Amino acid sequence: MEAQRSGGCRVRTRSSWRYPARIVPLAFLGAIAVGTALMMLPAARAEPGHAPFVTALFTATSAVCVTGLSVVDTPTYWSGFGLALITVLSQIGGFGIMTLATLLSLLVSRRLRLRSRLLAQAESSGLLGGNVGGILVRVALVMFVSEAVISVVLTLRFWLGYDYPFGRAVWEAVFHAVQAFNNAGFALYPDSLVRFVGDWWICLPLALGVLAGSIGFPVLFELGREWRTPGCWSTHTRLTVWGTVLLSGTGFLLFLAFEWSNPGTLGPLSTPAKVLAAFTQDVMTRSGGFNSIDMGDMNAETVAATNAMMFIGGGSASTAGGIKVTTFLLLAFVIWAEVRGEPDVVIHKRRIAEETQRQAMTVALLGVALVAVGTLALIMLTDDVPFDRALFEVTSAFATVGLSTGITAGLPPSAQVVLVILMYVGRVGTIAVGTAIALNTRRRHYRYPEERPLVG
């Protein structure tokens, strides 16, 4: 609490630290600002001179918000220093600004103050309970061990399979491993992973890394303890695991069915390569950002299915974006309970709190509104972008996926700024941004009379 004088009286005001979720959006803004300034340095660009402000802002936002969209050809436009910056910003954005700061303070001081715990929990959707310091250390270990394993596999493949010099093989392996686990999606090739579409030793480790990063750390920890006893899983873990299996299986089958004979995507490939490409693209579609087929050649029905999968996204407290799998499935249970006339929403003999239901509804509706407004803005700010391409680009930005049909670089700066805002809101979260804006957050000590308007 802070005290200040107003009209001769001492008025006690609420400290902003009482609502640590407000600090998270500001922390990401600060990281984006610093990243933009660094990306504008002449040393970050391959050609002489510095990058334009919008280009640097877009790239820094895409890296910090682990999206992967780019308005330039990443491997040729940026220098080695610039690519290293993208790697660091992606790692920071994936791990989390406040959780990283909390971990560093833990390592330095060997103790955590209450403020640090609250900030870490606020950024991690409140799922880090108990010994926050110990959990953050485990998060860091999971992240770096996963990235190390992927890096080793890719290094050996690049070095032995493609005759890359060992130094180049290590650099490209580490870069793509960081991008994969953090669901960032930047690639060192102009065609992303298209040249490796049938290579199991490249695509599969990257796809598994994206999948691991998109599950969410709380779920990974619980699976590590209770993987043999699914009956002991929490409701959150059940929703995330079975929702991921359901959505991944559906996306995989739809992609195979819609693109099997498409000469621009899966058509020319062998059957094993088609299966690999469909699996890789299905995993990347919900948050990864890499693509092993040309997104601009996909059929219209595949684009529609991809939009839906991107919007849903991955697990809560993960490096993925979207409204999250748990939100989507929770709303499905809410609808099912309402249709059946049930007084409560029950999932595996557990009643879901009304507050959680309202939060899920808010996240979903705000996401729909942002995508709708963003698509309209993109169409208004451009002359010849079709509606389906604009919707795809906006959904990819909001869900921090990073897939593109190839129109991003050709958009005017004003439209690129719209995507910057969507990437930021998508990474920080609609609830966190709303909490930061709602300065009058308080708990009422009274309730108004109830009224029931007609619905439907």
Partners of 351 in the β-ladder: 346
What rounded mean pLDDT belongs to the chain? 84
Structure tokens at 339: 């249709």
- Using a pLDDT cut of 90, give the percent of the chain over it: 51
Which helix H or strand E contains 376, and what residues bound it?
A: helix 354-381
Q: Each residue of 359-380: pLDDT tens digit?
A: 889 889 999 999 999 999 999 9
Euclidean distance between CA atoms 296 and 288, whole angstroms: 17
Quickly state the pLDDT bin for 111 (edges 50, 70, 90). Answer: low
Q: How many CA atoms are closer than 13 Å to the CA of 435, on its beta-carbon side?
A: 22
Euclidean distance between CA atoms 16 and 441, whole angstroms: 11
Residue given tokens 């009224």 in the structure block: 451
Sequential DSSP letters for 160-189 = IIS---HHHHHHHHHHHHHHHHTT----SS
8 Å CB contact between 154 and 40: no
Q: Each residue of 157-180: pLDDT tens digit?
A: 999 999 999 999 999 999 999 999
The CB-based long-range contact list for 232-236 (8 Å cut-off, 24+ gap) reads 235/347, 235/348, 235/350, 235/352, 236/127, 236/316, 236/326
Residues 6+ apart with CB under 8 A from 211: 244, 248, 283
Sequential DSSP letters for 331-355 = HHHHHHHHHHT-SS-BSSS-BPPHH
Q: Each residue of 416-453: pLDDT tens digit?
A: 999 999 999 988 877 666 665 555 556 677 888 888 78
- pLDDT of amino acid 416: 95
Partners of 9 in the β-ladder: 6
Structure tokens at 31: 């990281």
How many secondary structure helices (H) and strands (E) does the chain include? 18, 2
Length of the chain measured in residues: 456
- pLDDT of amino acid 97: 56
8 Å CB contact between 139 and 120: no
Sequential DSSP letters for 88-138 = HHHHHHHH-HHHHHHHHHHHHHS---HHHHHHHHHHTTT---S-HHHHHHH
3 phi and psi, to 5 degrees?
A: -110, 140
Structure tokens at 175: 């870069």
Closest CA to 407 of 431, 387, 423: 387
Euclidean distance between CA atoms 319 and 147, whole angstroms: 13
8 Å CB contact between 287 and 322: yes
Which helix H or strand E contains 59, and what residues bound it?
A: helix 53-64
Structure tokens at 182: 């953090």
Closest CA to 409 of 21, 69, 125: 69
Euclidean distance between CA atoms 86 and 83, whole angstroms: 5
Quickly state the pLDDT bin for 4 (edges 50, 70, 90). Answer: very low
Euclidean distance between CA atoms 284 and 170, whole angstroms: 23
Structure tokens at 93: 């954005």
- pLDDT of amino acid 319: 80
Euclidean distance between CA atoms 196 and 179, whole angstroms: 16
Euclidean distance between CA atoms 290 and 294, whole angstroms: 11
Least confident of 62-66, 316-320, 365-369: 316-320
Least confident of 38-42, 133-137, 327-331, 381-385: 133-137
- pLDDT of amino acid 358: 86
